[in-house]
Structure 1
Amino acid sequence: MTIYFQGSFQRGFGTYPLKGDALRAAALTAIEAGYRAFDTAQMYGNEAETGAALASSGIARNDLCITTKVHPDNYCEEKFLPSVEASLKALQVDRVDALLLHWPPADGDVAPSLRLLQSAREKGLADAIGVSNYTARMMHVARAVIDEPLVTNQVEFHPLVDQRKLLAAASETGIPLSSYASIARGEVFKHGLFAEIGRTYGKSAAQVVLRWILQKGVPLNTMSTKPENIRANFDIMDFTLSSIDMERIDALNATGYRIIKAGQLPWAPEWD
């Protein structure tokens, strides 16, 4: 089993929507800052550029945790494994540390794609497997459908959306959550509470948000092209939010801000 989400791998660098020179520069800055977990996807169209950047970094493969995600258009027997093999070739690796299903299938029947995902693991194409954008119900179905443990359900997770049902499902199924859109694509900065709390700890508003996510027990992914932000997003392990500050931030869950709404994409489900 991979050491997915242990130690420094709790803080991953997301590559969406980066491409070209911007991706290479950001990834190498992230390596320098201490990141060793990198997240990409077939849908992003940047696996080859991500692979090239990591290959040029000088970091040993075993010291990296690479995650990619299968496009829903490839959730069929004739496409699934060939698409994963193409991803590995693009990433310049013989297996990924974690292979995820990027979205539930449009018809909501998660069982067939989960079995295909398990077959990729059995063929040695991934050290671990997981899912993304699953509802609580889907997490329970997944746990019943396949024997292989799922290392994550990667979901939109930030203080402006209430994900208590998914956190409960994570506890019930043993499928941990991990976050994307960890600062709600900047929406959190419209709320002065984070900067106010940050002044108490000598940290930025973004660092407070990211620390809140980690203290919820949720590993996170962040993305930036600015070197100072890349470094700051990684530098969140030297302070702990008090229970009072955690509760103040929790109250913002009622904002109900969600970046990707049901129906916005063909595969976006009715969220919990």
Structure 2
Amino acid sequence: MPPLELPLGLGTSGLDDPDECTATVTAALEAGYRHVDTAQMYDNEAAVGEGIAAADVDRDDVVVATKVHPENLAPEDVRETARESLDRLGLDRVDLLYVHWPTRAYDAETTLPVFDELRDAGLTDHVGVSNFTPELLREARGILDAPIAAHQVECHPRFQQRELRDLAAEFDHRLVGYSPLARGDLFDDEEFRGVAERADRSPAVLALAWALARGVAPIPKATGDHVGENLGAVDADVEPAVLDEVDALAPGDRRIDPDDAAWSR
């Protein structure tokens, strides 16, 4: 299996209205997106699948990713619910199947071998993890037979994940960045907006272009005109000095920080 190419993607967390979700996925794919991210937790896999089916795009050209809910990470539940996810998506395989959070039913020694099993059975092409600490990431690498293709974490200009970016380069997997616009907080961030204005870029385009330049595949949620605006980050020619200004921003807090997250233990 060749390495997984992960371009800027469409995040679907929060796309709760089925009709809006389906229409957004279809519009994004037809605008040029080739990476769609969903999860059992989002309760929208069926709508995402309908959007993929409706788009005038070859399925094999699209990276489709979903994630197993932390309550479903006991071995038999992984087997059962991964197949249910495929049924909802209307697909016979996904390109990438993640452990969503290493919490609740997650047990590295028993959970991860089932992801290998599903890959061997052809239900997923690649295995990923999400919201892992460096220590848990190293542990997973030691247990899985499959290479970790992607690690998905919160990543944006105010939470830059330098250690995990370095580990992604060392371990040869992609870091996928959710909440790449800090859940919209970057639009009200005066310092970041100042950098964007001096660069003659919108805050969204600058944040996404920064992520791409730093080896992160961002997956912004977007609807309407923002779908096309975000895609413009792919071809944005941002000066290295501007990217350095973003690098130098003071770090902020996580926007997604559940009490049982691995980093809180």
The interval holding the TM-score normalised by the smaller chain is over 0.9
CA contact (8 A) 2:127 2:148 kept: yes
Write the distance in 2 (CA, Å) between the matches of 1:107 and 1:28: 34
User: Which residue of structure 2 lines up, in the alignment, with residue 10 of structure 1?
Assistant: 7
CA contact (8 A) 2:128 2:148 kept: yes
Aligned match for 1:90, one of 68, 88, 91: 88
Task: Give the 5 Å matches for 1:256-267.
Answer: 256-261=252-257, 263=259, 266=260
CA drift of 1:90 comes to: 0.7
CA drift of 1:168 comes to: 2.3
Aligned match for 1:59, one of 57, 60, 63: 57
Write the distance in 2 (CA, Å) between the matches of 1:31 and 1:194: 29
- Paired residue type of 1:4: L
CA drift of 1:99 comes to: 0.5
User: Which residue of structure 2 lines up, in the alignment, with residue 189 of structure 1?
Assistant: 187
User: Which residue of structure 1 lines up, in the alignment, with residue 251 of structure 2?
Assistant: 255
Aligned match for 1:269, one of 246, 257, 262: 262
Write the distance in 2 (CA, Å) between the matches of 1:179 and 1:27: 18
Write the distance in 1 (CA, Å) between the matches of 2:144 and 2:23: 39
CA contact (8 A) 1:41 1:70 kept: yes
User: CA 1:176 to 1:64, structure 2 compared with 1: closer, same or farther past 3 Å?
Assistant: closer
TM-score, normalised on structure 1? 0.90
TM-score, normalised on structure 2? 0.92
Mind listing any 5+ residue stretches in structure 2 that lack a counterpart?
Answer: none
Task: Give the 5 Å matches for 1:212-251.
Answer: 212-225=210-223, 227-251=224-248
Write the distance in 2 (CA, Å) between the matches of 1:4 and 1:197: 32
CA drift of 1:173 comes to: 2.6
User: CA 1:111 to 1:174, structure 2 compared with 1: closer, same or farther past 3 Å?
Assistant: farther
Aligned match for 1:50, one of 23, 48, 54: 48
2:130 matched to 1:125? no
CA contact (8 A) 1:128 1:151 kept: yes
How many residues align? The count is 264
Partner SS for 1:124:
coil
Task: Give the 5 Å matches for 1:37-186.
Answer: 37-106=35-104, 109-186=107-184
User: CA 1:121 to 1:107, structure 2 compared with 1: closer, same or farther past 3 Å?
Assistant: closer
User: CA 1:233 to 1:179, structure 2 compared with 1: closer, same or farther past 3 Å?
Assistant: same
State the Cα deviation string for residues 63-82 of structure 1 (Å, max 9, x = none).
Answer: 22110001111111221111
Write the distance in 2 (CA, Å) between the matches of 1:84 and 1:108: 15
Identity %: 36
State the Cα deviation string for residues 212-262 of structure 1 (Å, max 9, x = none).
Answer: 11111111101112x22110100113333333222211122x332211225
Compare 108-117 and 18-27 and name the one that shifted more: 108-117
Write the distance in 2 (CA, Å) between the matches of 1:155 and 1:271: 15
Partner SS for 1:134:
coil
Partner SS for 2:110:
helix
Compare 148-157 and 30-39 and name the one that shifted more: 30-39
Partner SS for 1:69:
strand
- How large is the Cα RMSD of the aligned pairs? 2.0
Write the distance in 2 (CA, Å) between the matches of 1:12 and 1:66: 10
CA contact (8 A) 2:29 2:55 kept: yes
Write the distance in 2 (CA, Å) between the matches of 1:60 and 1:3: 20
- Paired residue type of 1:269: A
